[in-house]
Structure 1
Amino acid sequence: MKKFKTADLYISIALIIGFLIVSLIRRDGTFVVGYFVVGGWQVISMIMHVVNKWFTEKWGVRFIYHLITLVALVTAPLGGFYVLLFVAPFMAVFYAWICYNELHVKMVRPLDQLK
């Protein structure tokens, strides 16, 4: 699990920063592709967490994030798509923070914190 969590965190960060830089340089529709690539990766990650029951305790941060994402996906076709254009980058960064928190805070062994 730790290898997946580490890869998940670094891939999310790399995709977010990479598409941000490329979008600023090219100034075309690349940012839309970035929305789908970053979002797609994070959906795959969320599915992996649900299937393996990693950090998905009821009413935990990840559980609430999954509910928010579900609501966003359901309301997008009903006109919420424009809201997602502004909210999605913040959701992506927040998801990366969730991954960081799980990897570097929740998965740390108790004796490692004494250093």
Structure 2
Amino acid sequence: MKQFKTIDVWISMILIFSFVIYGCCRQDEYFLTGYFVVGGWQVISMLVHYFNKWFCEAGTKRRNYHFTVFTIFILAGAGIIFTAILYLVLIVLLFAAPVMAIFYTWLCYDEVYVKMQRPLDLLK
């Protein structure tokens, strides 16, 4: 678990940093590629955490984040029928998705480098 979570944190940080640089260099509509790549990676990470029951207890930050993302998926699905909902969700996500990606990366970092430390390591 620790190895996966460590790799997950570093891949998220590298992807976010890379696509920020890519977006600044290109300065066109292709910056949206980063939304899908980073978001896709983090959704896969969320699914792995959910099915392995890692840090997904009720009331945790991760569980609340999973619920938020699930709600966004439901709203986007409803947007297929009611296009006004889809437009609203997409506009909100245009600004919220980068914040969500950074929060999720911080959440993973916190789990690996703070919560998973052995108690004796904290005494140093």
Aligned pair 1:96/2:105, yes or no? yes
Cα deviation code 1:9-68 (max 9, x no counterpart): 000000000000010011112221100000000000000001100000011000000011
Higher deviation after alignment, 24-33 or 41-50: 24-33
5+ residue gaps in structure 1?
none
Match of 1:20 in 2: 20
Describe the SS at the equivalent of 1:80.
Answer: helix
> Amino acid of the residue matched to residue 10 of structure 2?
Y
Amino acid at match of 1:47: L
Which residue of structure 2 aligns with residue 44 of structure 1? 44
1:107 corresponds in structure 2 to 116
CA RMSD of aligned residues (A): 0.9
4+ runs deviating over 3 angstroms: none
Bigger radius of gyration among the two:
2
Normalised TM-score (structure 2): 0.90
- Percent identity at matched positions? 53
Query: d(CA) in 1 for partners of 2:60 and 2:67?
Result: 11
In the alignment, structure 2 segments of 5+ residues that lack a partner are 80-84
Count residues in correspondence: 115
